[in-house]
A and B are shown apart, each in its own frame.
Chain A
Amino acid sequence: MAEIHLKKLAHSYLANPQKPDDYALKEIDHVWEDGKAYALLGSSGCGKSTLLNIISGLLTPSQGQVLFDGKDVTHLPTEQRQIAQVFQFPVVYDTMTVYDNLAFPLRNRKQSEAVIKERVHEIAAMLELTPDLKKKAQGLTADAKQKISLGRGLVRQDVAAILFDEPLTVIDPHLKWMLRMQLKSLHQRLNRTMIYVTHDQTEALTFADQVVVMYDGYVVQIGTPQELFERPAHTFVGYFIGSPGMNVLPASLQGNTATLNGHSLKLATAYTPKSGEKIELGIRPEFTHLSREASANSLPVTIRRIEDIGRHKIARAEFQGKEINIIVPEDKPVTPEYNQLSFDLDKVHIYANDWLVKQEAA
């Protein structure tokens, strides 16, 4: 059990990184609190696996430190860190039985057979692997193998954190759901720090207390699922979280008056842009409304398509060449004549160069 502190950490796969683009992982300073469940969310190649491998010690960072409970482990090899990791593809030792697989990390650490037996049976029961203990690991299904990989991490009592690198990628959808539930309940029972890498927002939001969103090597936001939804710190977070993602519209801004292609909106917040800044407004589809009559704060749009997905309808509209998604409640009518779009103005966020601006009172 430990708190993991990444101190001014950055990593580049190049020998001599010069510019920020050379870094696969841009500087980050973050504390992973003991016993919490985190998800590292981002699209492929954004640096999340790099970050994970640095924590587990498979990679040595180009700069910065990794502290476990204040102790510097940056240059400590993986086997000496108290870390378990579950990989995308299940790793089992083919020639061993399930029991031997689970016992392997303990045997390598010279534990007594009596202790090993007790631990292995305890973990096997937890993961529902007890009937398979005597079987060869090779013949099992992918989800059972992945449970073994996880089990090898859980048997060790000294583990500070368990890292998951997209562990459910090769699992069948319905088993995926069950394994995810099992993971969640395991976390609640064991109270170990878990860091879960994924590019699937549902997985991240259901599993984690805190979601760390990464984009292009940057950690763009760390927050609870609710915070990510309500106040995306970066346009990427807005776009990535939510279904459909946040609408991002280019605008010009003066105080609290935003101008979108000649249409003025009075916002609840104000910001004075510096010259050369790219200003955009972000508004989630949940906070947009369509009506037939124009009002002071409405924009004329063209409805392109309406999708009924059961719980609600999604209207795909166009405003001055830019696509806007609008969520329409199931009981509200929507036809192409509903072409006046208005926003919940207090839910509109201002982004300068893709980053959320500090709110100023209007």
Chain B
Amino acid sequence: MNKTWNNKAWWMVLPVVLLVAFSAVIPLMTVVNYSVQDTFGNNQFFWAGLQWFEEIVNSERFHAALGRQFIFSAVILAIEIPLGILIAMNMPKKGWAVPVCLVLMSLPLLIPWNVVGTIWQIFGRVDIGLLGAAANKLGIDYNYTRDIGDAWFTVVIMDVWHWTSLVALLCYAGLQSIPEAYYQAARIDGASGWAVFRYIQLPKMRGVLLIAVLLRFMDSFMIYTEPFVVTGGGPGNATTFLSIDLVKMAIGQFDLGPAAAFSLVYFLIILLLSWVFYTVMTNLDKQGR
């Protein structure tokens, strides 16, 4: 069969090509460009090969930031996912309380990130902050600018406050979609509360939970604004996560070559983790069927 080839149709793709080029490809290539060159100023660059990559991959500073990043993501996932499920299971199922609950829970999600940071920065201040001042009045030595534990506590609690509602709302949607007959059948089968959770609610929430874990992991892995506003990465480097470190390197020290290599390694790690998540998710789905 002879098809008429109309190559003019390719022009239709042009806007998207341009958009993607300017928003992603060209900036990324600029970074790639920086990552393999060095400069001594005067806008003169010369070839550096993989030197910056070797430096970054072997640098203790990067390892430390990466380690902190993994711990942070693990901690907030370990708190937000179970807490979100718990909240979702205790939310009202019908009546006037449902919209009230939903609106209240979405409020933290609507606040811009730097505002969240500012809120907690002030909330935790020892002199005027409700949390900081009250804790110290009660005799608890709390100071996030000085103590590493307090700084971590503040940053983690802030993230939990900001994002647990997202997990709870996703789980709530999952729970609401379970037909009443499942609960009735479970009662007839004599299932305990735990069995109902384990064999009915959890399997039915699996889809939304995977999405929640993925979203929260990715978001927390790329976190910048809130801890930067609250602790600035301190005390010392205690809360310097990957993106904070990256910004310090690129804008603070103006080490463009190492910073570019840093961002590419960072990007590759995220890409790898996303791929792992995606593969696990799709495999779980297949198993289910």
Contact = CB atoms under 8 A, between A and B. Distances in A.
A1 interface: no
A362 B207 CA distance: 72
Nearest to B192: A108
B252 interface: no
Contact of A138 (B179, B185, B288): B288
A62 interface: no
A103 to B, nearest CB: 10
A30 B182 CA distance: 29
Interface in A240-258: none
A149 interface: yes
Interface in B234-289: 287-289
A29 to B, nearest CB: 25
Interface stretch (B21-29, B59-67, B87-95, B195-203): B195-203
A58 B187 contact: yes
Interface of B: 179, 181-182, 184-185, 187-192, 195, 199-200, 203-204, 287-289
Nearest to A153: B188
A166 to B, nearest CB: 11
A319 interface: no
A84 B185 CA distance: 9
B199 A96 contact: yes
A215 B191 CA distance: 35
Interface string A87-99: 1110101111000
Contact of A89 (B179, B188, B191, B203): B179
B191 to A, nearest CB: 5
A78 B186 CA distance: 10
B199 to A, nearest CB: 5
Contacts of A139: 289
5 contacts: A56-B188, A57-B187, A79-B188, A104-B189, A105-B188
Interface in A42-96: 53, 56-58, 77-79, 83-85, 87-89, 91, 93-96
Contacts of B187: 57-58, 77-79
Contacts of A136: 287-288
For the complex of A and B, 5 pairs with smallest distance between CB atoms = A108-B190, A91-B185, A105-B189, A87-B181, A79-B190
Given A79-B189, A89-B181, A105-B189, 18 more contacts: A56-B188, A57-B187, A58-B187, A77-B187, A78-B187, A79-B188, A79-B190, A83-B188, A87-B185, A91-B179, A95-B203, A104-B191, A104-B195, A104-B199, A108-B189, A108-B195, A138-B288, A138-B289
B60 to A, nearest CB: 44
A153 B195 CA distance: 18
A153 B204 CA distance: 23
Question: For A53, A77, A94, A152, which residue has the most chain B Cβ atoms within 10 angstroms?
Answer: A94
Given A88-B181, A138-B289, A93 B199 contact: yes
B272 to A, nearest CB: 29
A161 B289 CA distance: 33
Contacts of A108: 189-192, 195
Contacts of A85: 184-185, 188
Contacts of A94: 203-204, 288
A109 interface: yes
B182 A95 contact: no
B95 to A, nearest CB: 15
Nearest to A87: B181
Of residues B179, B190, B192, B200, which shows the largest number of chain A Cβ atoms within 10 Å of its Cβ? B190
Contacts of B191: 79, 104, 108
A152 B179 CA distance: 18
Contacts of B181: 87-89, 91
Contact of A84 (B179, B188, B195, B203): B188
Nearest to A81: B188
A105 B190 contact: yes
B205 to A, nearest CB: 12
Given A88-B181, A91-B181, A139-B289, A78 B188 contact: yes
B287 to A, nearest CB: 8
A329 to B, nearest CB: 46
A84 B186 CA distance: 11
A339 to B, nearest CB: 53
B64 to A, nearest CB: 41
Contacts of A57: 187
